[in-house]
Structure 1
């Protein structure tokens, strides 16, 4: 991926605050699929065995990854942005079982060892063609392993490859980053086409309180035994 995109994601990371020290339940680590705090399902969506090996594609500042590591998982995070990975190391310097790589997602998947689950929360899977991502993921999942991805739902009528603009600084034009938007039915068809069983895709509604109404698309599939 071009260096301009790396710089863009580094710039993006500067505008993102660190995760809160504790959540509403007083927990110091937690899993969050949605863009809303203390909302939606948790790590159970990954169906991980204790000590399982799990990969976060586009791990960002590592909040979800750290939570899985504290649960005893072997948690591997991949991100294009060195600045995001630096945030992870700063926030969780002594977390055992966490491994970080500054790589492009498809490049990492090409040579990775098998995982019990692979997931992406508004991460690399959102910004990679699913006809390339899903075949790469299923090759690196153990039999029965789960793939799960969350992202914004598609705007009605705006499907397929779309453009996102990521700022690179006050004196530079924004970087253009492609993302892939599909309705839930199309995601389920894509999962089936690329060999996943029990494929589901649904929009999780936004919290009832507050004015924001955009939900979160959660896509999940299982590699057959």
Structure 2
């Protein structure tokens, strides 16, 4: 079974995102694996007029939210089912587009540059960092922001990683790899889980030098 087929099977079995969150909002950004938990888009800084790429855009809800704040959004996901769902739900938003592609292939082929690149439990967690990070850096505008989240090392939750190898690294290891590939000002946050849950979320943010 190919990588795309594996992730497509996982995507088809995933529950759709709610139409409204606990605050009554129809769009929102969530860095963690828990609904209505953790920081918001403020991690990325100002978004109006910014070009944003999401690697592993899933059903498109996070990226759509950034577009409603004035960004131009490009979403890439390896699972064809994800593009279909995202386009059906969010395709009406101007400046937003989704594409089925493997992350390294897309970054190699595109000639666009981006002010913000994000990955929420997405490609940065599943693609070899020494292959992916240089490609991300090559497509970032000066001063651009890379932000990504995934489970902390050892944070096991059924369902994540069933379609590919996870790259679980410690904060120090991620910092070393990011700086080694031309990023600076690396910031790591360990977000505690909500009450009653055991596994938190690791969030990293770095700037293009």
Do structure 1's residue 44 and structure 2's residue 42 form an aligned pair? yes
Q: Which residue of 2 aligns with 1:191?
A: 178
TM-score, structure 1 as length reference = 0.86
Give the number of the structure whose alpha-carbon radius of gyration is greater. 1
Pairing partner for 1:13 from 7, 11, 25 = 11
TM-score, structure 2 as length reference = 0.93
Q: Offset of 1:204 from its aligned partner? A: 0.8
Alignment of 1:171-210 (within 5 A): 177-207=164-194, 209=195
Do structure 1's residue 216 and structure 2's residue 198 form an aligned pair? no
Q: Offset of 1:200 from its aligned partner? A: 1.7
Specify the SS of the correspondent of 1:8. Answer: helix
Q: Offset of 1:93 from its aligned partner? A: 3.4
Q: Given that residues 200 and 220 in structure 1 are in contact (C-alpha distance below 8 angstroms), is that contact kept between their aligned partners in structure 2?
A: yes
Instruction: For 2:45 and 2:103, locate their aligned partners in 1 and report how far apart those are by CA, in whole Å.
Output: 22
The alignment covers a number of residue pairs equal to 205
Q: Which runs of 5+ in 2 are unaligned?
A: none
Q: Which runs of 5+ in 1 are unaligned?
A: 167-176
Instruction: Kindly indicate which of the two structures has a greater share of residues assigned to strand.
Output: 1
Q: Given that residues 91 and 97 in structure 2 are in contact (C-alpha distance below 8 angstroms), is that contact kept between their aligned partners in structure 1?
A: no
Shift >2 Å, 4+ stretches: 163-166
Q: Which residue of 2 aligns with 1:173?
A: none
Alignment of 1:123-162 (within 5 A): 123-155=122-154
Q: Offset of 1:110 from its aligned partner? A: 1.3
CA RMSD of aligned residues (A): 1.7
Specify the SS of the correspondent of 1:107. Answer: helix
Q: Given that residues 48 and 117 in structure 1 are in contact (C-alpha distance below 8 angstroms), is that contact kept between their aligned partners in structure 2?
A: no
Do structure 1's residue 4 and structure 2's residue 5 form an aligned pair? no
